[in-house]
Amino acid sequence: MAKTPDGRRIAMAERQVQEVIARYLLSLKDELPGLVTVSRVQMPADLRTARVYVSVFAQDQDESLLKKQVAKTLQHLAADIQGELAAHLKMRYCPKLTFYPDETTDVVLKVERLIEDISPSLRRKRRGDDDE
């Protein structure tokens, strides 16, 4: 019978990987633009790979473009970061890291803007003012 993955074990591994990468990013703070954070890590049941999502907060710059640049830079540093993971975590395999820009904040802001745009027209319809 096949084993089912233990969600707690995966969540704990994701949290530990996120913490180690975040500490590593602190050592790079002078080399990275703005404030770079690891927003989340996703790992499969075998814990051999990790999708690392990063956010960037910077003033006076296009954050979407900056996120992509930072993800690309971190991907070039992935081997060094994996070495750091191997040194700090007690895991059978060191996960292979892939970095992605975290677009969650952008999506939330876009949805909020859409709701704000729709909201006045819905209020007019409820009041019967739509015959303008």
- Beta strand ranges found along 44-123 (DSSP E): 49-57, 96-101
Mean residue pLDDT across the chain = 84
On whether the pTM is more than 0.85, the answer is no
Beta bridge partners of 101: 54
- pLDDT tens-digit readout, 26-43: 888 788 887 888 999 999
Share of the chain above pLDDT 70, in %: 86
Q: Residue 82: which H helix or E strand, with range?
A: helix 78-88
Tally of CB atoms within 10 A around 19: 14
List Cα–Cα distances, 90 to 13, 42, 62, 84, 96, in angstroms: 10, 18, 38, 12, 15
User: Which pLDDT value is given to residue 122?
Assistant: 64
Task: Given CATH 3.40.50.150, say whether it is the number of domain 7-101.
Answer: no
